Each structure stands twice: as structure tokens, then as C-alpha cells.
Amino acid sequence: MVPSEPLGPQKRPSSSALELGPRKKPTTQDPLVHHGRHFGRSVHCFCNIQTLVTNGIALMGERADEPEENLTASERREYAVFRMLLRMVPGMEARLMASSEEEVIHIADLIQKGANGARADDTKGMKTAIVDWITPKGQGLHPHIPRNVKSGRGFHHERTGALLCPAGLDWSNSEIKNKLVNGQIQVAGDQWPVFLYANYTYDPEDPWNGLLRSGLLVAAFKHIFTSPSSVDQEPKATRSGNARLHGMQSVTKASIAYVATQARFALTSAQVFSRTDLITDSERFYNSILEFLDDPEEKDEVDQLLVWWNRQVFPLYTEHERMPSQNSALARIRQKRAQYRESVANIST
């Protein structure tokens, strides 16, 4: 007779504290999600990837012979964004052209997942970090702003209200302040806040002066693209920042618009980052900055702005190809190489 098995729950064998135990299975992320995170941050934040890819494939295929001048301005902008996506993801163009409709949808969904995930992560991180940046050193905010609570921000707080006040309006004017607080003045997304300006100072006679050069924006950019610790000048993080992970060596216009949008949302009292939120109007705000920076008539000022930004956040950035120092070993090697090539050329002729 076979003895019956004991009833009841089976106990797990006790593990020894001196044994490491089974390793957790490593989690892997699809490379398209990885690229999608950078795409949302540095190329376009509010992009519908599936529509972008579908329309882009059409322009590469059935509409390939259509003259570019036949495209609308919106279609040209969209196609330019699509081409940036293709350059960002190795082998993307060939993969898309060889994929079925279902596979194209899956590819777009993975990129969208990355973009949405990065935006959510950055929104969460910015909500807590920005409180430190707007608090004067050695002082406190009155009333106190909890790092994880947004309800007391926006125009309901003196500090965040002053930073969010639209350029051209006077926050110190009690009538204007009250109208902003109670919603009598509705702030549209294309009414840019004064915190975008250096020293939070707007000059109506020279509205380009200091625009998109505030210390708060630089802190936000470093927090997202280099590392949170780089905000305090001395890099302390052991992990590579997002810019390095994606080979980013210079800022993009979209990355500036992105950090401005994230910083603005962090200052508001809004709880959920949504493209359809008409109160914060984040999508309109983002697009208004991006379209402004893409305006050909603003090219000279924009080029100067990009150089300024690159010097702030990428210390190794150089506007032109750096020539080797005179009398250096590198300069001497290049000189000898040039002389050798010249002598070889003379012999062959």
C-alpha cells in the first residue's frame, strides 16, 4: 500500500542566508522602445507615431513621384519629422518597407510606448526636482510646496505664480494677479511665461533678449538629458545620462521646447499631463515654441540660441571643427602626413 501524500499547503524548503539564491530573470526592452524615448524628447513630443509612419510610408511609396511643392506646409513638416525618425533608428527604412501592415502598426506602437513612457517618467521626476530649483538657497518657500503634491502650485502660490505669469503682464499688480488666480484671465498655450527668460525678465522692446535662456530651463534640460546630479554642476551619477545613451552631442530645437513644456507643467497645479488639457494647453505651448524656432525668419537668432545652449549643457561642444594646437604632437603628425602625401604624389607624376 502506497502511503498517502500529506494534505495541506507544502512548505518551501528554507533558504540559507549564506546562499545567494536564484537570480532574477533580466528584463529586456525592445530597441524600438529605447529609440522612442529619445524621439519623444528630442524630435517631437506630441506625435501620433502610427499616423506619422503610415503617412511617411505613403510619401516614400505611392506618392514618391509627387513634387514636394505639391505638399502642404503641414505635410512637409510631418515628413521632415518622419525622416528624422528613420535616421534615428538603424535599419528602420528597410524594415518598414519590408513589413506587413500589421508589422508596421506594431513598430509604431513600440516607438509610441517609448515616447509616452519617457514623457511620464520626466513629468514625475520634474514634479519633485523643480521645487528645489525655485527655492532660494538657504531659504524656504512660504507657504511650503510639498515635492509630491501639485494642488498648491500654479497661480495659487506666489513663487510659481510669478514664474508662470505671461510675459508682458505684471504679477506684482494685484488686479492682474487676482484675475490670474480666479481664472478671469485665461492663459493660452502661446502666451509664454516669464520663466522662459533669463533672470525672469521680459523686455517688450527686445522680446528676443534672454528668451529660452533661463537658469530654470537649463536645470530642467540637464535633469532630463544629462543626469539629475549634473544640475548641481558636479556630475555624480554612475549611469550614463539620456543624451549619452543616445549619442546626443548637441541640443535640438525640439529638446528645448520639450524641457520648457515639462518645466511649465511642473509649475502648474494640474495633476495629469495630457495633450487635450485646455487648462495647461501643453500641446499648443510646445508647438508654438517649436514652430517659432523653425521659422526661417528667426534663423540668425535661433542659431545663436542653439550655440548658447550647447555651451551650457555639452562642455565638449565646439561650433567649428577644432584645429590642433600649434607645435603640438598632433599638429606635427598631420604636417608630416601631408608632406608624405605630397612627396608620393610628386613621384607618381
Query: Prior bond to 143 cis, omega within 30?
Result: yes
Cα distance between the two ends of the chain? 103
Q: Which DSSP symbol is given to 69?
A: G
Q: Which residue has the cell 535640438?
A: 252
**Cα 243 to Cα 234: distance, rounded to the nearest angstrom:** 17
Q: Which pLDDT belongs to residue 347?
A: 79
Instruction: State which amino acid sits at residue 26.
Output: P
pLDDT one digit per residue (tens) for the chain, 349 residues: 545 545 555 555 555 666 555 555 555 678 999 999 999 999 999 999 999 999 999 988 877 778 878 889 899 999 999 999 999 999 999 999 999 999 999 999 999 999 999 999 999 999 999 999 999 988 999 999 999 999 999 999 999 999 999 999 999 999 999 999 999 999 999 999 999 999 999 999 999 999 999 999 999 999 999 866 655 654 443 344 655 655 778 999 999 999 999 999 999 999 888 777 777 899 999 999 999 999 999 999 999 999 999 999 887 665 544 555 666 777 677 777 788 888 877 776 6
Residue 166: DSSP 8-state: B
In 3-state terms, what secondary structure has residue 86? helix
Q: What is the three-class DSSP state of 183? A: coil
d(Cα 214, Cα 217) in Å, to the nearest integer? 5
CA 4 to CA 338: how far, in whole Å?
90
H-state helical runs in the chain: 31-42, 49-60, 73-88, 92-97, 101-134, 158-164, 174-182, 215-221, 242-245, 253-267, 282-294, 299-313, 329-348
| pLDDT of amino acid 232 | 60
pLDDT digits (tens, 9 = 90+) for 302-332: 999 999 999 998 876 655 445 556 667 776 7
Task: Find all residues with CB under 8 Å of 38, minimum gap 6, and list them.
Answer: 88, 114, 118, 242, 245, 246, 248
